[in-house]
Amino acid sequence: MLALLVLLAVCAFSSSPSISASIASAPELDTAEPFWGRIYLRHGAVPIQYFRDSFGGAMLAREAEFRFPFDQVDNRSGCRALGSDEHFNGSAVLVVTRGECSFEQKARVAEAAGAGALVVVNDDESVTRPMAHIDDGEIQIPSVMVRRTAGELLRATVLGATERVFGRLVPMQCSRGPSSVCFPRTASERAYIVNALARSGVVMSTADGSVVGEFLASKFGGVMPQRAALPVSALLRAAAVCQSPGADADAMPRVDGKVALIAGGEGTPPGCSVADMVARAQSAGALAVLVATDSVSTRPSVAEDWHGYNVTIFSGVVTAATMQRIVALQEQSPALGLVHFALQNAIADAWEAIRELARKSAWPVRVDRKEKLVRRLLGAFALSAGQKEALKSHFLAVAGGSEPKWERLVRDAEGVVGRQGEEEATLSATAAGPLATAAGGSHEEL
């Protein structure tokens, strides 16, 4: 059981580097609020690191909407009072740029407008703590600073969105010792991190609500679109997408407001990563990007989170089979919104757990415990055929299992799931009787 918990916890916190299984239920280590943390956007792809001020109040302990001043010409810096129609009543985080006035002035303007917190975007890639020489308690809201590219990501995400953008500022603290681990202080903050980030999901047909296929979200870019009808482009070849801008005006067509479909994998020019393709599609007006790759078991990433801040749209990878089904929908009705995304982070969690088992040290020593671990993984996740094949490969090649044992473990897991389904159906039918009777009462009785 311990081995499985370790794997699942590592998966759950994969979006936050170095958070281990023991951290998932770790108690608060310090009552003092840390001076740094991360911004997590709901359904976002990547957290944004911040440094907080030395003078403001406690960090906003709930999710809030991210807002910019309406006047993005003369008041981007938030130095002047906001309009009467920009009072947030504590429900928003105001984002402004550095400069033109002091941090104190920006914080006072934001507080007067009812903001619950203030984010100041630096004018370069450094990050410092906002400072002010005032008495404790004079300003009640917290202020934080983020690097310039992070601010550009926030700006593009919030101002370019067709839906409101929500998120949370999460203070991070680090354990002491040779292997320092950083993590949120509270259970609610840890739960928010697990549930907020978009790690994986399914592509669904808008017409009938059926699942077209699964995707793994990139570890860079903006918020996953929530619209129920997203138009998709014709299939684009990676060789055309990866050309240098301006090399061939006809090679990369405009895909304004659409989910760009790109056939990656074999034929992709050397050195052209998923991030490169997404950036090119973004410059061509894409709303989001799906790339078909040879292997869909790992989320596309960049070397450092901030390296991907120039990408402000959502993206993910799918199998060639899933891409073919999406293309078929597009060819049937190219002018209509055809698909939408639904979050299912368990898909990415399962892949994370399976990849851990490629290491021999991740397996228990005893044979019965190895089988127990496989059985629990099969029961914990609704594994796809590809995930089962990968788990089977590790069980045979790394753990030293056998084909007959694998088949038995699969049968056992399927039997457990089947019995659970029957029990749930029986309970539902039993509960339906009294509910139906109550619902059938007359208006006088109600």
Q: Are 94 and 78 in contact (CB under 8 A)?
A: yes
The helix (H) or strand (E) run that includes residue 205 is strand 200-205
Angle at 285 between CA 215 and CA 248, to 5 degrees: 105
The helix (H) or strand (E) run that includes residue 156 is helix 148-159
**Measuring CA to CA, which residue among 348, 398, 347 is closest to residue 373?**
398
Residues of the chain with CATH 3.50.30.30: 36-177+184-196, 200-242+253-343
- Would you identify the CATH topology of the domain 200-242+253-343? Glucose Oxidase; domain 1 (3.50.30)
CATH class of 36-177+184-196: alpha beta
How confident is the model at residue 190, as a pLDDT? 93
Q: Give the contacts of 84 (CB within 8 A, at least 6 positions apart).
A: none
How confident is the model at residue 438, as a pLDDT? 31
Structure tokens, 151: 């601010």
Report if pTM > 0.85. no
Angle at 404 between CA 401 and CA 409, to 5 degrees: 75
How confident is the model at residue 413, as a pLDDT? 87
- Compute CA 152 distance to the chain's CA centroid, rounded to the nearest angstrom: 18
Amino acid at 77: S
Whole-number Å distance between alpha carbons of 62 and 167: 9
Strands 339-343 and 200-205: antiparallel
Amino acid at 104: E
Q: Write out the chain's pLDDT in tens, 446 residues.
A: 334 443 444 343 443 333 334 344 454 455 578 999 999 999 999 999 999 999 999 999 999 999 999 999 999 999 999 998 899 999 999 999 999 999 999 999 999 999 999 999 999 999 999 999 999 899 999 999 999 999 999 999 999 877 899 999 999 998 887 777 888 989 999 999 989 999 999 999 998 899 999 999 999 999 999 888 999 999 999 989 997 555 554 568 999 999 999 999 888 999 999 999 999 999 999 999 999 998 899 999 999 888 888 899 999 999 999 999 999 998 887 777 799 999 999 999 999 999 999 999 999 999 999 999 999 999 999 999 999 999 999 999 999 999 999 999 999 988 754 444 444 444 444 433 433 333 333 322 22
Q: What is the DSSP string of 388-419?
A: HHHHHHHHHHTS---HHHHHHHHHHHHHHHHH
Q: Are 348 and 199 in contact (CB under 8 A)?
A: yes
